[in-house]
Amino acid sequence: MAYRVLIAQFMHETNTFSKLVTTLDDYRKRWLIEGEAMVPRFTGTKNEIGGYIDATKKYGWQPVWAGAANATPSGKLTKETWETIRDMIVNAARKAGKLDGICLSLHGAMVTETEDDAEGALLELLRSVVGPDVPIATTLDLHANATVRMASNANALVSYRTYPHIDGYERAVQAAALVQQAMEGKKAPRCLLVQPAMLEGAEHGRTTQPGLMLDLLAKADSFETEPGIDVVSIQAGFTWADIPYTGPSIAVSHEPGAEARAKAIAAELIDEIWRRREEGAKSYYRPIADGIAAAKAGVGKKGPLVIADGTDNPGGGGYNDTTPVLKALMDAGIENVAFGTIYDPGTVQQATKAGVGAEIEVSLGGHTDPAMGAPIKARAVVKMLSDGSFKNDGPMNAGVETSMGPTAVLRIGGIDVVTISNRIQTIDLQVFLSQGIDPTAKSVLVVKSVQHYRAAYAPIAREIVLVDSGGICSPDISRLKFTRLRRPIWPLDGINEPYAGLRPA
């Protein structure tokens, strides 16, 4: 029997402290694909949709391709954007007739102008279409602000287990396998979710060094071998969202009769997060001056120093155009630098009009919020112009097409600045290679990223320095003006147990 399974993606990590809004055009810049057109785009890729495509072949499903939508993190989705993409997916489910299952790729931290819990709202609508017995599984980002509403309307929330997120494909394969077993009557999973009174504390999900998150994941792996326990997911949460659901959580999908054990598992993991909360909230950021000192000390050494401008991380909603790191490098006279990237469409247009080889006066970056670094006034040589397109070939999202939009490489002193028209996080070496820059030949690389860059850049780096440039993704939560969080909450309030003011599941 060929099971009919709806497959869709709707991704966004929303930084509610951003002054920007997210529009349909922002989705089109990354991807907004309706129906079966998503298949050729993602066949052979190592993201979630690539995993679901392979699952349809493995299980012989009759897929209903609803569409795929993904935008660079930024501010709240406009009402039009939310409703357009939501309706694309829900209407596909309504028009499909009888469905046997649903496989989704969601983020878990999407906020719109009208919905604090967008994924929960979408899952609730899909559940109303297909009824209570059709299995629904979704992948989630490890930084999901997961909710009871999501868990109540899905049979499984299957979150990434890596940060950098290099296991989207594997998590989709896991979700698809559970849906297959449920359709065959071999499984009957139900999902519960427990969230403590914590804003942060799960080490922001870091999995590149020993610590709390890796210890939690090892326990989750062990729990999943127990009878009746299908999936144990740990969401570290996304701090930069001023909504009632922000913070870490545990989701456990379990079989009938195993609910008590599922609750005990969730409680054990929450207790460890709470017990080690100070460790889990530790910041690894350093002042920009430390990055400059490392650059000076490394002159002539093999391999590049990687300076990660984490607080202007576009992957967390950063504006991608703050300038303090660039200014510090210029003031220090550091040379043989590649800077990836500065979002400045106006300067790209200026460079394009002038042409390769031209010398132009630029006012670079700092346009979104000059309080986070004024535009850089300088003379720049246009070294290269391109459409900014490439395919990722590193460990994260391998094979996925990426567009920086019209792009100009500008040389300012000894610094090559990759200047772009679409905000993107620097997660792949192709950000530089596609623009004629060999990153391994540079003394210093600057990347706008907080953690994902490590998958591709750590293997070539002689040293890594993560700096705080004062952007909106600052780890200093005292800079964030929360007004809508559930309270009391750690670390903002003086509480001494993880369920203060809450009723655990």
pLDDT in tens, 359-377: 999 999 999 999 999 999 9
Exposed e or buried b per residue across 50-87, where buried means at least 16 C-beta atoms within 10 angstroms of its C-beta: bbbbbbbeebebebbbbbbbbbbbbbbbbeebbeebbe
Q: Tens digit of pLDDT for each residue in 109-158? A: 999 999 999 999 999 999 999 999 999 999 999 999 999 999 999 999 99
Q: Which of 327, 407, 315 has its CA nearest to residue 365?
A: 327
Give percent of the chain above pLDDT 70.
99
d(CA 99, CA 476): 46
Q: What is the pLDDT of residue 503?
A: 56
- Relative to beta strand 389-391, strand 401-403 is antiparallel
* Mean pLDDT, range 330-340, rounded to an integer: 98
* Mean pLDDT, range 391-418, rounded to an integer: 97
pTM over 0.85: yes
Q: What is the pLDDT of residue 204?
A: 87
Terminus-to-terminus CA distance in the chain, angstroms? 38
- Segments making up each domain of the chain, as ranges: 4-280, 288-475
Mean pLDDT of the chain: 97
Q: Would the pLDDT of 396 be above 50?
A: yes
d(CA 436, CA 411): 13
Q: Tens digit of pLDDT for each residue in 184-212? A: 999 999 999 999 999 998 888 999 989 99
d(CA 189, CA 191): 7
Q: Would the pLDDT of 163 be above 90?
A: yes
Alpha carbon dihedral 111, 113, 119, 121, in 10-degree steps, equals: 150
Q: What is the pLDDT of residue 279?
A: 86
Phi-psi region of 65 (alpha: psi -120 to 50; beta: other; left: phi over 0): beta
* Mean pLDDT, range 247-276, rounded to an integer: 98
Q: What is the pLDDT of residue 185?
A: 98
Q: Would the pLDDT of 505 be above 50?
A: no
H or E stretch at 179: helix 168-183
Beta strands in 2-85 (DSSP E): 4-11, 31-34, 62-70
Cβ pair 155, 187 in contact under 8 A: no
Q: What is the pLDDT of residue 92?
A: 99
CA distances in angstroms from 174 to 45, 190, 244, 387, 428, listed in the order given: 16, 16, 30, 36, 25
* Mean pLDDT, range 164-184, rounded to an integer: 98
Q: Tens digit of pLDDT for each residue in 76-117? A: 999 999 999 999 999 999 999 999 999 999 999 999 999 999
